[in-house]
Structure 1
Amino acid sequence: MAGHTVTTIYKQGMQFETDSPTGYKVLIDTSPENGGNNDGMGPKAMMLSGLAGCTGLDVVFVLNKMRVDVPKFKMVVKGELTEEHPKTYHTVWLDYHFYGDDLNEEKIQKAVTLSEEQYCGVMEMFRKFCKLEIAVHYHPEAALETSNS
């Protein structure tokens, strides 16, 4: 049976260092108002990054199989937390932004849909505890230089 194991070690203050199964290390910390120094990603933000990474890998894999070239794309993931503790995401917005002057929108949409409906295990996990709002946006390639969000 497939699975993953990570080891997370307390460093100092509110900071932890966690490793991946392949040996990469990431710092986890929290904001100063919660006793940290913002010297790493917060755990909930890491969850959003995990979602983007999972679906992004799927989309690139499928587009490569379709021989579709996408010069640049990014995903913006925003989560809204509940007011009560334990605070969890009740809604997550996942926006795919594709940049190029001759994008094959039909095939890009198919790749995104395959990730959403069939391949992305992280997305399936998110569906078990929050509402997902997904949108795909197409931009001319030059728009990426003016977009920082």
Structure 2
Amino acid sequence: MNVQAKWLGGRAFTAVGPSGFDMSMDATAAYGGEGNGNTPTEMLLGALAGCIGIDITMILNPHLDQIKSIDIEVKGTRREELPTAFTAIEIVFTIEGEITPKKVWRAIRLGKDKYCAVSASLKADVHFSLMLNGVQVEEV
């Protein structure tokens, strides 16, 4: 895979990959940017949510008619010193529907352990939790 990034001036970049969609990035004002795009670290967490989300929907494909909604929140904890890399990441799945926790946890585990290229590429400890129909469900 090849992604090309082009400098737009200041701290702003735009990147495009094989899919052809633009990714706008900029630093916050604290780092000399103007906030005219997502920060690269925001994009990293978003990529993680998208990757694991795609994986679990593929795994749960036979049961998607039983699911009303899937929301994924990714919370990253970063080091204080440079580089301010993520040291821990928590992914919270909030799912509404008539599906068993066992099926959802199986999909999460498979996504994490076998399919999600983004999480497999990170050094941070990545932890998962599940809210199913408004109730936190422990891993089964």
TM, length-normalised to structure 2 = 0.88
2:114 partner letter = Q
C-alpha contact (below 8 Å) 1:63/1:108 kept by paired residues: yes
Query: In structure 2, what is the equivalent of residue 16 of structure 1?
Result: 13
| Residues 1:7 and 1:104: Cα distance change in structure 2 (over 3 Å) | same
Aligned: 1:119 with 2:119: no
Deviation of residue 67 (structure 1)? Answer: 5.7
Query: In structure 1, what is the equivalent of residue 55 of structure 2?
Result: 58
Q: After superposition, give the CA deviation of every residue in 1:79-117 in whole Å (9 maximum; x if it has no partner).
A: 1111111111111111111023x2332212211111112
Listed as ranges, the matches of 1:90-101 within 5 Å are: 90-100=87-97
| Residues 1:68 and 1:118: Cα distance change in structure 2 (over 3 Å) | farther
Deviation of residue 9 (structure 1)? Answer: 0.3
Give the count of matched residue pairs: 134
Query: In structure 2, what is the equivalent of residue 143 of structure 1?
Result: none
2:104 partner letter = I
Distance of 1:115 and 1:11 partners within structure 2:
36
Structure 1 segments, 4+ long, off by >4 Å, are: none
SS at match of 2:67: coil
2:15 partner letter = T
Distance of 2:16 and 2:24 partners within structure 1:
9
Match of 2:132 among 104, 113, 138: 138
Query: In structure 2, what is the equivalent of residue 145 of structure 1?
Result: none
Distance of 1:106 and 1:132 partners within structure 2:
20
**Structure 2: which 5+ residue stretches go unaligned?**
135-140
C-alpha contact (below 8 Å) 1:68/1:107 kept by paired residues: no
Aligned: 1:46 with 2:40: no
Distance of 1:13 and 1:59 partners within structure 2:
38
TM, length-normalised to structure 1 = 0.83
Across the aligned residues of Structure 1 and Structure 2, the Cα RMSD in angstroms comes to: 1.5
| Residues 1:67 and 1:85: Cα distance change in structure 2 (over 3 Å) | closer
Q: What percentage of residue pairs aligned between the two structures are identical?
A: 25
C-alpha contact (below 8 Å) 1:32/1:38 kept by paired residues: yes
1:12 partner letter = G
Greater strand fraction, Structure 1 or Structure 2: 2
Deviation of residue 68 (structure 1)? Answer: 5.3
2:106 partner letter = K
**Structure 1: which 5+ residue stretches go unaligned?**
141-149
